[in-house]
Chains A and B, each alone.
Chain A
Amino acid sequence: MLVELTDIRKKYDKEVLKVDKLLFQKGLIYGIIGPSGAGKSTLLRIINLLTPFNSGTYQFMGRPLPSNGQERLKLQRKMALVFQKTLLFKDSVWNNVAYGLKARGFSRSEITQRVGELLEQVGLQELAFRRADTLSGGEAQRIAIARAVAFEPHLLLLDEPTANLDPGNIELIEKMIRQLNRTKSITVVMVTHNVFQAHRIAQEVIFIHEGRIVESGPTEQIFEEPLDPRTKAFVEGRMIY
């Protein structure tokens, strides 16, 4: 198992997340769906070790969370998170994509090679030396994903990676995600508002409502034969929230 969460609870002013059991298996694409405020982003941040949780156990590749800062950083470096609100550094596109590689101390030649490859993959090589804050929304999102996968994480966490994009860019990004999953066997956990997108791309779907996992399972099952009436209402677009 790549990630295993048990009895994880997260409180802000009130409890926003209460996960009894959540497993992510290596090599799959997971879709996390649920209404706004359900706790989807919070869950991704907890998995990425950006937000501490109040209680529960977290295991990565069968090992418990290290308490030592250096070890935690090592663990954190096995993952990447693309945030709901993308922010590229005010720097060149090239330097943005190279960031994670530099942080990990990759050699110059390796960085040059990988960044070049990735920019080609996302079809933006001609923008390498543009300031990243001058890109269009779709270009920026492609670069954000390229930046997150440059160092080939085991686990790629995506928070609404195609929100506010046009159909062309959505298709491009979905293709990218599938390809990364297939060719580099990166496990993907993708949060999306869009149930159709979850249907298209995920092998497993997790439905979160009010901080709890209502139902999870193979995509077909969640869409065709959901067990919980709330899941059924949500995937059919009838949930009022």
Chain B
Amino acid sequence: MSRLLEGFVEAFQLIIALDPALLQIVFLSLRVSILAIIISTLLGVPLGTLLGLKPERKTRFVNKIIFTFMGMPPVVAGLVIYLFLSRQGPLGVLGLLYTPTAMIIAQVFLSFPIVTGLTMVGIRAKGSEVEEIARSLGAGSALAAWTVVRELRIAILGAIITGFSRVVAEVGAVMIVGGNIAGHTRVMTTAIVLETRRGNFELAIGLGIVLLMLSFIVNSVLYNIQRGGE
């Protein structure tokens, strides 16, 4: 019990003192996950919009694939990317394994289906109606699609934030393709695993608190936007 309490006290000290080791890990985590979600957004929002505007019966097969990938276990995603990037793999020559780039690729692989799928679901509810109104007012296809995205921005933002929450909190994929190398590919979740195993609870708890705060901030922002937007 006292050990746990001690861990908490020290964890808070680390956070308040802006401990460089802790900060370095937090920043790498954010860099990897934010870049991954930006790429997933750039690919997934247009694709999800396109699919969401099609009648459901025409996209049934694609839906099933996307929904399957949305629920993919991170370790499986990690394994797939590992096989591609390992020295014998098809992309082995790039030498990306155990780099932050590999972790970004793995997280894109995890978040792209989420952003695409949730965007599609959000668009499907009201998208065709908005598209028709836009076209009835003289919008060409590009402007009509943009109007749909703007009109359903809350749902799309929800898709993006859900994708971000998922990747920033996952361990399996980044562990496999990043290798948890100190100062290079160690992110919050993998550091927590390691430090817990070593019995260094203060850093593990400190990182856990940062992750929780991050989740709180992200979800509060989402909640406020959704309330404000309705």
In the complex, A234 has a CB within 8 A of chain B: no
Give the interface SS of chain B, mostly helix, strand, loop or mixed. helix
Say whether A80 contacts B137, CB under 8 Å: yes
**Interface core residue of B134, B137, B140, B151 (most chain A CB under 10 Å):** B137
- Give a binary string over B121-144; 1 marks a CB under 8 Å from any A CB, 0 the rest: 000000001101111111110010
Say whether B137 contacts A87, CB under 8 Å: no
In the complex, A60 has a CB within 8 A of chain B: no
Name the CB-closest residue of A to B139.
A103
Say whether B138 contacts A151, CB under 8 Å: yes
Say whether B138 contacts A87, CB under 8 Å: no
**Interface core residue of B136, B143, B147 (most chain A CB under 10 Å):** B136
Name the CB-closest residue of B to A91.
B150
- Give a binary string over A72-96; 1 marks a CB under 8 Å from any B CB, 0 the rest: 0100110111010101011100000
Task: Give Cα A45 to B134, complex, Å.
Answer: 13
Q: How far is the CB of A21 from chain B (nearest CB, A)?
A: 25
- Give a binary string over A40-64; 1 marks a CB under 8 Å from any B CB, 0 the rest: 0000010010100000000000000
**Interface core residue of B129, B133, B134 (most chain A CB under 10 Å):** B133
Say whether B229 contacts A147, CB under 8 Å: no
In the complex with contacts A76-B138, A77-B138, A151-B138, A83-B133 CB distance below 8 A = yes
Say whether A80 contacts B133, CB under 8 Å: no
In the complex, A108 has a CB within 8 A of chain B: no
Say whether A103 contacts B130, CB under 8 Å: no
In the complex with contacts A87-B129, A89-B151, A103-B143 CB distance below 8 A = yes
In the complex with contacts A89-B147, A90-B151, A103-B140, A76-B133 CB distance below 8 A = no
In the complex, A148 has a CB within 8 A of chain B: yes
Q: How far is the CB of B136 from chain A (nearest CB, A)?
A: 4
Q: How far is the CB of A101 from chain B (nearest CB, A)?
A: 9
Task: Give Cα A50 to B133, complex, Å.
Answer: 9
In the complex, A34 has a CB within 8 A of chain B: no
Q: Which of A79, A87, A151 contacts B130 (CB 8 A)?
A: A87
In the complex, A100 has a CB within 8 A of chain B: yes
Inter-chain pairs besides A103-B140, A148-B137, A151-B137, 17 sampled, C-beta below 8 Å: A45-B132, A48-B136, A76-B135, A76-B138, A79-B136, A81-B136, A83-B133, A87-B133, A89-B133, A90-B150, A90-B229, A91-B150, A100-B138, A103-B138, A103-B143, A148-B136, A151-B138
Pull 17 A–B residue pairs with CB atoms less than 8 Å apart, ordered by A. Answer: A50-B132, A77-B138, A80-B138, A87-B129, A87-B133, A89-B130, A89-B133, A89-B147, A89-B151, A90-B151, A90-B229, A99-B139, A100-B138, A103-B139, A103-B143, A104-B138, A148-B136
Interface residues of A (CB under 8 A from B): 45, 48, 50, 73, 76-77, 79-81, 83, 85, 87, 89-91, 99-100, 103-104, 147-148, 151
